Structure 1
């Protein structure tokens, strides 16, 4: 009986301690995609610490194909995806750590083509950041491509208020 009572007491203490632990923080984040100094896209969401969110934006593009009298512009679609996972919140330092994965398809104006009558292949950009530290609503720049084009993801995040 004593063993059973002790087991119940220990289980009750463990449950009470677990019940008192705060729920994971919700992080409000925003990402601006800046190409050659101009903001071309924005992602904005709330994600709970320990969770992951993926958003994909699609946008129209036009690709020149053919030569001479047969030359024409063909409409196509490109995409940009971001996956954001808030890892930690440091309330004392007022910072949030985010894991980021991005995939982007761009028209590559600088691509060399073997055949000028065939469209250039789009450029694929895939990048990951294992833990970008972002301070309280201050923008933090993450450069993906240095030039042709200069591509920067500007990130800010904070603990969301209910």
Structure 2
């Protein structure tokens, strides 16, 4: 005789329950994700603060240049100046052939803290007249000074917004001092990344390198570029390179 038909199942559970629960979960999941998307706040991009700055160059205590700009924190601005220098030499007072001097400054705002202290990184290279050597011959006739290239870097130059701070790059022959002042402006306000500048009136000389913008500024030609996406210094002179806190 055939065995009686029987089924085996766990008491209290229906075979179709697991499949039905899976279908119900799959149907509800998109609704839950959609609700989460609606409830999640939209994160708006906040641009970094912009810093309006002004840098004054003092040579032997006299203002010889002034640069200014509006640059976002985390970005940088670079300006290169070219100008001609002539000297009166000899007992007859004849002028030398012009020499082209340059100044290249890269300034980067690093950040602003809650006390409105602004940090900057500054790199500079410029040509100066080294007047440490005698400028008169034994017969009393004038000699031209020797050009000297100064390279300096300040990794974190801090100042409180609205105040002016000084950095002595060359302490003598001649003295070379940078003075910097800055304040925070509205990050949505306009302003090109990169410096605009003032200069003394004479004849502009020099050319902008490829990719730069040449601007005539009196006796200087300026090339501007920008990325708006303790101190040490060395002096290069005929005698070599001298490292230190300030170039000598």
TM range (shorter): 0.7 to 0.9
* C-alpha contact 1:31 1:155 (8 A) present in aligned 2: yes
Instruction: Output the TM-score relative to the length of structure 2.
Output: 0.53
**In the alignment, does 2:59 pair up with 1:35?**
yes
Instruction: Output the TM-score relative to the length of structure 1.
Output: 0.78
**In the alignment, does 2:131 pair up with 1:78?**
no
Q: Structure 2 unaligned runs (5+)?
A: 1-25, 190-248
**In the alignment, does 2:169 pair up with 1:148?**
no
* C-alpha contact 1:28 1:158 (8 A) present in aligned 2: yes
More helix by share: 1
Q: Structure 1 unaligned runs (5+)?
A: none
* C-alpha contact 1:95 1:158 (8 A) present in aligned 2: no
Q: 1:16 aligns with which of 27, 33, 42?
A: 42
- Taking only aligned residues, the RMSD between alpha carbons, in angstroms, comes to 3.3
**Which structure's CA Rg is the greater one?**
2
Secondary structure of the 1:16 match is coil
Measure, in 2, the Cα distance between the counterparts of 1:143 and 1:72: 31
Measure, in 1, the Cα distance between the counterparts of 2:62 and 2:134: 25
Measure, in 2, the Cα distance between the counterparts of 1:58 and 1:30: 19
More strand by share: 1
Residues 90-142 of structure 1 show CA distances to partners (whole Å, capped at 9, x for unaligned) of 2x3112101100111112232479xx9x9665201010111111111211001
**In the alignment, does 2:153 pair up with 1:128?**
yes
- Aligned pair count reads 152
* C-alpha contact 1:63 1:76 (8 A) present in aligned 2: no
